Amino acid sequence: MTIAGKLWQRGRDLFPIAGFHVDRPLVLLQSDDWGRVGLRDANGLEQLRSSGLALGERPYDFYTLETAEDVRSLSTTLKGHRDSGGRSPCMEMNFIVANLDFARMSVDGFRKVHLLPVAEGFPMGWTRPGLVEAYREGIEDGVFQPALHGTTHFCRSAVERNASGEGERASALRILWEAGTPYIHWRMPWIGYEYWDPESPEDERFLAADAQAEMIEQTIGAFAKLFASLPRSACAPGYRANDDTHRVWAQHGIHVAQNGPGVLIPPHFDRHNVLHLFRTVEFEPATDPAFSVEACLRQAESCFERQIPAIVSLHSINFHSTVRDFRSRTLEALDEFLTALESKHTNLMYLHDEDLHELVDTGRHKMPYGSIPVKVIRRNFTKSRVARRQDA
């Protein structure tokens, strides 16, 4: 970024923005990485270990892919809960809509990326009977809302640049790809995120606007094939999105942008008329050694005190079960968390991203028996002065 650009951005952070506040407890669930394959279950684990990879250092070494049963168990847990208006929580599920086509990639020596849309199945060596149907059932039942994450999660140009070279990085990719695993991010952060190349100069890391536009268009096409609908909300892989990303999203009818945790910012619109939401509760039992239901409840309460929604972040790994059973503990904790919120707040409301968009836009919320007015308060804030989340 140029000096003028940096000054402009700093100036913008000092400029007051209209934030939306609601005087009743709102809870949203946002979850990333659905549809994205990782370790190819027990076989993949064995194959990678025999190639000399010491897996097990971090939870993401055991990231696999959800099964139909994982998805149905989550759906059952959500259906067991109701808010004050009788609605179950509906999880915003952000999908990666394609995986690597390892069969095609092996033909040209694993030097190029080829993609296989989830709508056409999972890559060679993977079996997930009924998984896509399980996603669709949950959507039909109103407990999942599909949204856009991306096509590859990693930056394609960064991966192809490294795969076509010689040396350690190319061979690390080849070992994983031969075992049907696309990548393990913490072991190779140089793969970046879909719209963000970490090896470019600091102010050029985001891909050019036209490159992003082409990718987003393809991703939306693959999403439409998978769900026969268009996404209304999106979360960029690694939360790496810039103004170009938001503009293209808006052009395609996406009117909610999900942002990562760390700051307590009220929902607000950007100049493209996209509503920005920030995650305010980190519910990640699989990856957070300090996780506790009590801490998550405290985080939610501090949102309610500020009259902002509790936006709960839960990544898909928390529901995986094939190599490590992350699912059992997560569902038990989630059940406890939702039960505690429901019993303490008799006016609690579960919303998904589009509900919240409609609420701030119209001041009304749809309930099973009709729509009700909800008081929305506009209060200015400046980005330079927002509260950091209290990790109590």
Minimum distance between the CB of residue 316 and Zn ion, rounded to whole angstroms? 8
> Which residues between 320 and 379 bind Zn ion (CB under 5 A)?
none
Minimum distance between the CB of residue 185 and Zn ion, rounded to whole angstroms? 9
Is there binding between residue 244 and Zn ion (CB under 5 A)? no
Options 17, 28, 29, 32; binder of Zn ion; rule CB under 5 A: 32
Minimum distance between the CB of residue 375 and Zn ion, rounded to whole angstroms? 34
Kindly report each contact of residues 209-215 with a partner whose C-beta sits within 8 Å and lies 24 or more positions away, as own/partner: 209/244, 209/247, 209/248, 212/244, 212/245, 212/248, 213/244, 213/248, 215/150, 215/151
Is there binding between residue 194 and Zn ion (CB under 5 A)? no
**Position closest to Zn ion via CB:** 32
Q: Which of 302/316 has CB closer to Zn ion?
A: 316
Closest by CA to 183, choosing from 166, 160, 199, is 160
End-to-end CA distance of the chain: 36
Size of the site for Zn ion (CB under 5 A): 3
How many distinct helices (H) and strands (E) make up the chain?
12, 18
Helices 168-178 and 156-163: angle between axes, nearest 10 degrees: 110
Minimum distance between the CB of residue 237 and Zn ion, rounded to whole angstroms? 5
Q: Which of 89/237 has CB closer to Zn ion?
A: 237
Provide DSSP, 131-183: HHHHHHHHHHTTSEEEEEEESSSS-HHHHHHHHTS-SHHHHHHHHHHHTT---
Q: Which of 47/313 has CB closer to Zn ion?
A: 313
**What mask of x and - would describe binding to Zn ion in positions 195 to 234, judged by CB under 5 A?**
----------------------------------------
Is there binding between residue 33 and Zn ion (CB under 5 A)? yes
**What mask of x and - would describe binding to Zn ion in positions 35 to 74, judged by CB under 5 A?**
----------------------------------------
Stretch that binds Zn ion, among 30-38, 60-68, 285-293, 326-334 (CB under 5 A): 30-38
Distance CA 188, CA 163 (A): 12
Minimum distance between the CB of residue 93 and Zn ion, rounded to whole angstroms? 12
Distance CA 76, CA 315 (A): 18
Angle at 350 between CA 345 and CA 351, to 5 degrees: 145
CB atoms within 10 A of CB 334: 25
Interface residues toward Zn ion, by CB under 5 A: 32-33, 237
